[in-house]
Amino acid sequence: MSLPIRNVAIIAHVDHGKTTLVDALLKQSGIFREGEDVPDCVMDSNALERERGITILSKNTAVRYKETLINIIDTPGHADFGGEVERVLGMVDGCILIVDANEGPMPQTRFVLKKALEKGLRPIVVVNKIDRPQADPHGAIDKVLDLFLELGADDDQCDFPYLFASGINGYARNDLESDNMDMQPMFEAILHHVAPPVGDPNKPLQLQVTTLDYSEYLGRIVIGKIHNGTIRMGQQVALVTETSAIVKGKISKLMGFEGLKRIDLEEASAGNIVAVAGFADANIGETITCPNEPQALPLIKVDEPTLQMTFSVNDSPFAGQEGTMVTSRQVRDRLFRELETNVALRVEDTDSPDKLLVSGRGELHLGILIETMRREGYEFQVSQPQVIFREVSGQPCEPYECLVLDVPQEASGGCIERLGQRKGEMQDMQMSATGRTQLEFVIPARGLIGFRGEFMRLTRGEGIMNHSFLDYRPISSDMETRRNGVLISFEEGVATFYAMKNAEDRGAFFITPGTKVYKGMIVGEHNRQQDLELNVCKAKQLTNHRASGGDELVQLQAPIDMSLERALEYIGSDELVEVTPKSIRLRKLAKKLAKR
């Protein structure tokens, strides 16, 4: 007799505490043995996830509560990884929407909630971080209800159950007056409000692939929910591909989930989420079914990308010095391999064999891909991100974003002015008693390219900026996104303190003395709006005369740290970011320099 099942996804805006709450559920479910060393954010297993404190890939886990198997899927909160959210929502019968008690619903909350409501799910709302000093749990519930109504939720969805929780302290409560100190109310809410999976174990097999994994021993592993039928180890099955072709195969390994481990299964029936090996070419959205009666499930539809950039072979003077994967074939193979697991990504060939057009959901989505590749030893260069225009009802349209800023009150005027220049329209403005202002804008996606660095300067690093895709609208007029010019090296060599100190009044540097530079490399930002070429390798002429005051300690201003995301936002249309395992460099296009 198989256990009763509940399949539930945890969705929320980035940094509202999804992974911390899953930690608490796992620890209190008894799956870890006593004394076992369990790290924080156990579901964020990827190195980049731990470094950045965000969830990038959706993960499966399962716990048992009162003889019920609860499959939990932790999803990313950032809209750039919405492709992960969209496909896993098809595996579950309910979802837990987590909202910060202080911030309330944010742009990505709208995005993930909209996807859940479209699937017909009835979310359980959890107001997290109620232990914070400025928390307003009831205010957050009211805002969530407003958001449900705004997104067109039906009466049943609007009558949502809700809980109050503190993930970091490991408790959930049905009301604020309760003194409960464990997660039992959340387990009970899942049992009572999430419907058991529908599916007939006696019908022909239908399993839809929603996630892909890879093992050196088993090859490709596909993860998905069994919609109908029963699957057995060693069973002969068929894969219905995107093109409706039927590929016959055999289940070489069948696994289920328990805690953080995968366990071997002999069989599993409708409603279970399982991992299957045996299909080397299976892709997301395809159906594993009965070979005698192959019946495909509808393919998973994922929103189209909104941003694109060109990946090309590194042709700078320093090419090939730091990377091991440098040829166009190696970069091309790696990008097309990424397509197997990254459903929101698109890769297209161009008229040049050394260039590929890569499209994604946003700067973070593409930035994570670039960072992953450079850590694997790849060396290449990328162009400025460009928005993807699309024709809707015969009219050229561009993507628009919903932008929410949380800024100190004294910085709000400057932010409104700059966003007005970038065609942003303010929708809402709220001031809090803490001296901060929350601003909401609708803005073309191209108006946000390069804005984050400017925003950080305007708010002196104290601002919080969140945005998510809204829809496609008719193209707005040209916008002013001008930034200052750049400082360009016209010599190849090593930057010297002497040369940089003499040029310090011209602008701010991105490099430090001792950095290797080449002709055309961008070394800093000019104080004025035109570019300036200078020699940062010039050495001090040695004489036998001692300069007065020469023994005084002279220091340079701290350089601007150009991280990968900041570099992608910063570059102009005639500039490139050179990416290697050891360095991030900015440079001018070679043909632009030739004209100068």
Domain that holds residue 232: 206-289
Residue 153 is part of a domain; what is its CATH number?
A: 3.40.50.300
Number of folded domains in the chain?
Answer: 4
* Domain end among 246, 272, 289: 289
Range name among 66-80, 376-390, 503-517 with the lowest pLDDT average: 66-80
Mean pLDDT for the stretch of residues 42-65: 56
pLDDT for 532 beyond 60: yes
Dist CA 25 CA 124 (whole Å):
15
On whether 241 is known to bind a ligand per the annotation, the reply is no
16 is in an annotated binding site: yes
pLDDT at 19 over 80: no
Distance (Å, rounded) from C-alpha 246 to C-alpha 436?
59
213-271 pLDDT per residue, tens = 777 778 788 888 899 999 999 999 999 988 888 888 899 999 988 877 788 899 898 88
Helix or strand run (H / E) with residue 68 = strand 68-74
Same domain for 560 and 419?
no
Would you say 170 is a known binding-site residue? no
Q: What percent of the chain clears pLDDT 90, i.e. is strictly above it? A: 23
* Calpha distance 389→307 (Å, rounded): 9
On whether 40 is known to bind a ligand per the annotation, the reply is no
**Residue 259's CATH number:** 2.40.30.10
Give the per-residue pLDDT at 335: 92
pLDDT, greater one: 134 or 592: 134
Q: Is the distance from CB of 510 to CB of 524 less than 8 angstroms?
A: yes
Contacts of 497 (CB under 8 A, 6+ apart): 513, 556
- How would residue 496 be classed by pLDDT, with cut points 50, 70 and 90? very high
**pTM for the whole structure:** 0.73
| Residue 294: inside a domain | no
Q: What is the mean pLDDT of residues 344-365?
A: 87
Distance CA 80, CA 549 (A): 55
CB atoms within 10 A of CB 361: 24
Q: Is 372 exposed, middle or buried (0-12, 13-18, 19+ CB in 10 A)?
A: middle
Write down the pLDDT at residue 524: 92
Q: Read off the pLDDT of residues 175-224 as tens digits, 9 standing for 90 and up.
A: 888 888 888 998 999 999 998 888 888 888 999 888 777 777 787 888 88
Residue 305 lies in a domain: no
Same domain? For 464 and 503 the reply is no
pLDDT surpasses 50 at 35 = no
Residue 568 lies in a domain: yes
436: CATH: 3.30.70.240
Indicate whether 189 and 210 sit together in one domain. no
For residue 159, give the nearest of 144, 174, 140, 175 by alpha carbon: 144
Residue 17 counted as an annotated binding residue: yes
Task: Note the pLDDT of residue 488.
Answer: 93
Percent of the chain with pLDDT over 70: 87
Asked if 400 and 427 sit in the same domain, the reply is: yes
Out of 193, 214, 233, a domain closes at 193
Average per-residue pLDDT in the chain? 82
Answer yes or no: do 113 and 10 share one domain.
yes
User: Is 18 marked as a binding-site residue?
Assistant: yes
Domain presence at residue 524:
yes
In this structure, is residue 526 part of a structural domain? yes
Q: Is 467 annotated as belonging to a binding site?
A: no
Which of 168, 193, 218 terminates a domain? The answer is: 193
For residue 494, the domain's CATH number is: 2.40.50.250
The pLDDT confidence band at residue 521, using thresholds 50, 70 and 90, is very high
Q: Is 355 part of any domain?
A: no
Q: Supply the pLDDT for residue 38.
A: 45
Give me 165's structure tokens: 């929780």
User: Are both 149 and 222 inside the same structural domain?
Assistant: no
For range 284-294, the mean pLDDT: 86
- What pLDDT is attached to residue 452? 77
Are 417 and 490 in a shared domain? Answer: no
pLDDT for 478 beyond 90:
no
Is 520 labelled a binding residue? Answer: no
On whether both 219 and 146 belong to a single domain, the answer is no
Q: CB count, 10 Å around CB of 483?
A: 14
Check the annotation: does 130 bind a ligand. yes
- Tell me what pLDDT residue 533 has: 92
Q: Are residues 62 and 161 in the same domain?
A: yes
Question: Is 44 labeled as ligand-binding?
Answer: no
Q: Does one domain contain both 425 and 530?
A: no
Task: Please indicate, yes or no, if residue 347 is contained in any of the structural domains.
Answer: no
CB 278 within 8 A of CB 250: yes
Q: Which residues contact 337 (CB under 8 A, 6 or more apart)?
A: none
Give the range among 43-52, 283-292, 327-336, 471-480 with minimum mean pLDDT: 43-52
Contact 59, 85 (CB under 8 A): no
Let me know whether 211 and 188 are in one domain: no
Which of 76, 140, 154 shows the shortest CA–CA distance to 112?
76
pLDDT of residue 44 exceeding 60: no
If asked whether residues 142 and 213 sit together in one domain, one would say no
If pLDDT is split at 50, 70 and 90, which confidence band does 572 have? confident
| Within a domain: 342 | no
